[in-house]
Structure 1
Amino acid sequence: MKKKFLYTPLIALLVGLSSCDKGFDQLNINPTAATSLNPVFTFNNAIINTSFPGSTLIFEEGIVQQIFTPNSGINSGGNFNIDNRGPTGNNGGLWRQYYQNNIRYLIDVLTQTKSDANRTNLYNMVRIWKAYSFMVLTDTYGDIPYTEAGLGYLSQNTTPKYDTQESIYNDLIKELTEASAALDASKTIETGDVMYAGNITKWKRFGYSTLLRVGMRLSKVNPTLAQSTVQKAVAGGLMQSNADNAVVKNDANYKNGVGNTLTSTEAANFYLTKNFVDYLKSTSDPRLTSIAVRYVGAKSGPEQTAARASKDPAVQIGMPMGYDNGTIPARVTADGLASFYDYSQLDRTRMGKFDAPCYLVTYAQTQLLLAEAAQRGWTTGNAADYYNAGVTAHMIQLGDYDATSLVPTAAITAYLQQNPYVAAKGLELINTQYWVASLLNGPEAFANFRRSGYPALTPNPYPGKEIKGSFINRLSYPDSEASVNLAKLTEAINRQGPDNLDTRVWWDKQ
């Protein structure tokens, strides 16, 4: 009888355990969590992360002599013509952001949509964005991982080969041409994309305008291919107004990297250069009022207050290059200023805001490139008309930063009358305007300066430079590449040239 009482509860317990097993595999699954992610959202993440990092202030903006700091340490780079390496070196800022937060997302979306007949527009939009992103990377560094890039998670390829810049450019032409042509308004419209909300016409114009940029980049190394590429782009259809601009609209959650740097730890450390301010003043350019602010009489960062702020172009004084913290005080005295905090800055309440838009490819730039193409005889149209349209578009574009930055129509008309296009100086005028129109797009200003040779800048006279030439020609690879991909990196260096600031990229021929 005792055994009977013992076995009965044991059997009941086993039966209970068996019933509890049902659904056990679902116990730790969140019933409200997403099981898959719409790839357009991943694409949006890539788009947002295309906004340039603050490191472009350290190198690109300083190299092209628009924005500059006299401070050393982590801010050393283009201001002193020296490299800035290390685990978090600013030479690798663009590399880290694009490969980690842009390229890998784009490759993921391409993989998901390549065979999906319902997402062909998304697939081709991503191809266009990928081409733009890789153009920025290869223009900055030269040979880079391209065909095998972004495959670490998908195929466990963590040591991608470096492709030659020439082969990359050939593929950029193919990708932009094919993807732009393949976009089809009769197929699924990707209204969730944050750039153009799936507008096929605007995506096509962005693709072909980027192709125009690719073509013009080849003007020195392969004029024949440059011309034919320009003609493909023009035939495809380019941007028609500022409404077509490719611009990342930043906000409090997705901050402008440059603006965030200028409004936080480096607020009092970066200044408009004397070369840039003097150029705008010499032509009575109304954009100076839109761009600059001077905290008159400021003796320190905390004294850069609204009460001292002046946007009057007549009082703007750019900081001369060639100085550091030890030598700038004497120049400050010679200029009759209170301190180096008294020089003109990019206005942090307008163009330098943390949520300022980041312009990638614009109608203004496109019109100026068309002006050069017409000047070279590579396309039809009047170079002067394209030139005037490009300058006008940029002056209007400034109003998107802040209503007070919009250049009035009358001021635009007066400026163009006082500074007319002259064919004999066409290439210089066009590309100097391109320099102004590319303010805050450091990678593009740097690339076009190397390609065109304009504006005609005086080399930075800082005595401690590491470069042998007059200007930095490329950025060095980040140190992390030597740690994780040394063999492939070495192949690239042996092929391209020393990994320093003097080595030229493929298209930058003397």
Structure 2
Amino acid sequence: MNNILKKTILLLCVSLIYSSCDTVDFGNVNDNPNGPTAAVTSQLLTEAQKTVSDIGTDITGVLFTQQLTEGQYPGQSRYATLTYNYNGYYTGAIQNLNEIIKINTDPETAGEAEAFGNTDNQIATAKILRAFILQFMTDSWGALPWTEAFQGIDFAQPKFETQEELYTIMFTEIEEAISLISTTSTGPVGDIIFEGDMSRWLVFANSLKMTMALRISDVNPTLAQTKFEEVIASGNYISSNDENIEYNYTSDDAGDSPWHDRFKTREDYIMSEAMVGFLRDNLDPRLFKYGEPARDSIFPNPVFPDDADAGYVGAPDGNVNGNVPSYSFPPSIIIYDDNTFPTPIYTSAQMKLSMAEAALKGWNVGGDTAETLFSEGITDSMTYWGVDEADITSYLNAHTSVTILDIAYEKYIALYLNGQEGWSEWRRLDAPALTPSEYAGDPRIPVRLAYDSSVQDNNAENYSAIIAIQGTDDLHTKLWWDVN
């Protein structure tokens, strides 16, 4: 009887507790009164824009094109990294941008989102940034999942789009963004690149479009010319250094320059023999702006007047360059002196040299000749880096030839420290001639990044299908637009 009574009492207690929990309303006791009740698009945008800095300071292309090399711990300058993971772009910046577009297009959330800027301008900004990141990714890996990506369990193994298909998607994305932009309406809150100035976003979009057009000019010249000339007709492109697109930094640790961070406790990157050699051989005054004199050595055969270049020493690419003070470092203003020194994303020099190439192809570039644009591109590059006017004039007088090889060389020099663009244009133009590191296990300069092993492990069927189209998944299979 005692056991039965105990069990009965226990059952009644449990029933009462369950009934109480089922009916009592705890109200907002677990709500944070200071927390947002919906996604804040301004915060999503700010976080996504930080990826622009990551791309602009990406070290991979810098090392592959021998603008710099490594000191005592060579790795990527020996092409030692065999696979690369792109997941962070999908789960980070692109997901944030997708959410901005979703919030601003959903009638239930669009009204609340207007507190953070005009709806169309928010969508346009997100689309431009999404296309910018996608171009970086596809020009690195080639084919990527896209139209079936970002859909969770509905497409846990998304198909890949070819690079040609991705370029079509990006052109559409950019042109949709341009059509949405209103320069008389409020720009997005949280915009740390242009502070909501939509006229600058128009220039950003067209800079990306112009770059993409020239990138595909050897594989689809008709489409390339059409897209390039659309930018010229719009008039919204960079025409002077005052209009350069840069990523600006703050002085705090959370927002300062990645280049400055790289040299806080280590000195891993030094100027390469190739870059110093190009500048010295061409009596290019940018030598004195692109690096610092070596602390512990001099170059034995200087060529500039008064041996001004004796202190500028490049390191063998991929070697164990243990005594780094024997070589020239990148500019002190970038790595030591100023942790807010901006990162160029698109510059007048880059655009004018692109227009010079387009003029050689016979495309409409607004009436200027290839020779004029070539000269202006060099001038803008040197002016940006603080070269004296007299030295600019002397260099221009000695470099009057304007061939595709001349343009390729000048673009390579002008894109110093802009690793991704430098690497992409070097692959497309196959110039200037670079000698692969003799210390590499495979003495071939990479022309793409190989997929991380997780791609094959988690999406085997679609991985196999795209490899059958694109080619062997290694560092040496050329991308769709790299046909020369």
Shorter-chain TM band:
0.7 to 0.9
Partner amino acid, structure 2, of 1:498:
T
SS at match of 1:228: helix
User: 1:391 is matched with which residue?
Assistant: 378
SS at match of 1:233: helix
In the aligned structure 2, how far is the partner of 1:247 from the partner of 1:145? 29
SS at match of 1:345: coil
Aligned-pair identity (%):
26
User: 1:98 is matched with which residue?
Assistant: 89
Say if 2:240 is the partner of 1:253.
Answer: no
SS at match of 2:334: coil
User: 2:114 is matched with which residue?
Assistant: none
User: What are the superposed Cα offsets for residues 270-311 of structure 1, whole Å, 9 maximum, x if unpaired?
Assistant: 21111101211223322222221134228xxxxxxxxxxxx9
Say if 2:33 is the partner of 1:42.
Answer: no
User: What are the superposed Cα offsets for residues 136-173 of structure 1, whole Å, 9 maximum, x if unpaired?
Assistant: 10001100122233444xx7644332210000011212
Distance 1:53 1:480, change over 3 A: farther
User: What are the superposed Cα offsets for residues 82-129 of structure 1, whole Å, 9 maximum, x if unpaired?
Assistant: 4344xxxxx33xx24433332111111121123548400110121111
How do residues 57-456 of structure 1 correspond to structure 2 at under 5 angstroms?
57=59, 59-69=60-70, 71-72=72-73, 75-77=74-76, 79-85=77-83, 91-92=84-85, 95-115=86-106, 116=110, 118-152=118-152, 157-190=155-188, 192-236=190-234, 237-251=236-250, 252-264=253-265, 267-297=266-296, 313-321=309-317, 324-325=319-320, 339-350=323-334, 355-380=340-365, 381-398=368-385, 406-420=386-400, 422-423=401-402, 426-456=403-433
Figure out how many residues of one structure are paired with residues of the other and give that number: 441
In the aligned structure 1, how far is the partner of 2:146 from the partner of 2:341? 30
1:132 to partner: Cα distance: 1.1
In the aligned structure 2, how far is the partner of 1:214 from the partner of 1:366? 12
The answer on whether the counterparts of 2:45 and 2:126 sit within 8 Å (CA) in structure 1 is yes
The answer on whether the counterparts of 1:263 and 1:348 sit within 8 Å (CA) in structure 2 is no
In the aligned structure 1, how far is the partner of 2:359 from the partner of 2:290? 30
1:377 to partner: Cα distance: 0.8
Distance 1:485 1:247, change over 3 A: farther
Distance 1:349 1:318, change over 3 A: same
The answer on whether the counterparts of 2:56 and 2:344 sit within 8 Å (CA) in structure 1 is no
1:483 to partner: Cα distance: 3.9
User: 1:460 is matched with which residue?
Assistant: 436
In the aligned structure 1, how far is the partner of 2:87 from the partner of 2:263? 20
Query: 5+ unaligned residues in a row in structure 2: which ranges?
Result: 1-15, 112-117, 298-306
Partner amino acid, structure 2, of 1:416:
L
In the aligned structure 2, how far is the partner of 1:200 from the partner of 1:485? 39
SS at match of 2:177: helix
1:349 to partner: Cα distance: 4.0
In the aligned structure 2, how far is the partner of 1:100 from the partner of 1:255? 23
SS at match of 1:24: coil
SS at match of 2:293: strand
The answer on whether the counterparts of 1:246 and 1:359 sit within 8 Å (CA) in structure 2 is yes
* 4+ runs deviating over 6 angstroms: none
Distance 1:456 1:231, change over 3 A: same
User: What are the superposed Cα offsets for residues 376-424 of structure 1, whole Å, 9 maximum, x if unpaired?
Assistant: 11123211222222222223333xxxxxxx333343333323333x23x
In the aligned structure 1, how far is the partner of 2:272 from the partner of 2:374? 25
User: 1:334 is matched with which residue?
Assistant: none
1:55 to partner: Cα distance: 9.1
SS at match of 1:68: strand
- Residues 408-417 or 286-295, more deviating: 408-417
SS at match of 2:451: coil
SS at match of 2:426: helix
The answer on whether the counterparts of 2:82 and 2:474 sit within 8 Å (CA) in structure 1 is no
Match for 1:503 among 457, 474, 477?
477
1:340 to partner: Cα distance: 4.7
The answer on whether the counterparts of 2:215 and 2:425 sit within 8 Å (CA) in structure 1 is yes
User: What are the superposed Cα offsets for residues 299-335 of structure 1, whole Å, 9 maximum, x if unpaired?
Assistant: xxxxxxxxxxxx96431011122x533xx68xxxxxx
TM-score, scaled to structure 1: 0.79
The answer on whether the counterparts of 2:260 and 2:334 sit within 8 Å (CA) in structure 1 is no
In the aligned structure 2, how far is the partner of 1:160 from the partner of 1:204? 32
How do residues 474-489 of structure 1 correspond to structure 2 at under 5 angstroms?
474-489=448-463
Distance 1:54 1:431, change over 3 A: closer
Distance 1:509 1:259, change over 3 A: farther
User: What are the superposed Cα offsets for residues 225-265 of structure 1, whole Å, 9 maximum, x if unpaired?
Assistant: 1111111121122123333333221233134334422433x
1:183 to partner: Cα distance: 1.1
Distance 1:461 1:30, change over 3 A: closer
Partner amino acid, structure 2, of 1:486:
A
Partner amino acid, structure 1, of 2:289:
S
In the aligned structure 1, how far is the partner of 2:239 from the partner of 2:102? 32
- Residues 273-282 or 247-256, more deviating: 247-256
- Residues 346-355 or 235-244, more deviating: 346-355
1:204 to partner: Cα distance: 1.0
Distance 1:231 1:162, change over 3 A: same
SS at match of 1:503: coil
In the aligned structure 2, how far is the partner of 1:159 from the partner of 1:254? 36
Query: 5+ unaligned residues in a row in structure 1: which ranges?
Result: 1-13, 86-90, 299-310, 330-338, 399-405
The answer on whether the counterparts of 2:82 and 2:475 sit within 8 Å (CA) in structure 1 is no
TM-score, scaled to structure 2: 0.83
In the aligned structure 2, how far is the partner of 1:184 from the partner of 1:286? 42
Partner amino acid, structure 2, of 1:465:
G
Partner amino acid, structure 2, of 1:62:
L
In the aligned structure 2, how far is the partner of 1:258 from the partner of 1:209? 24
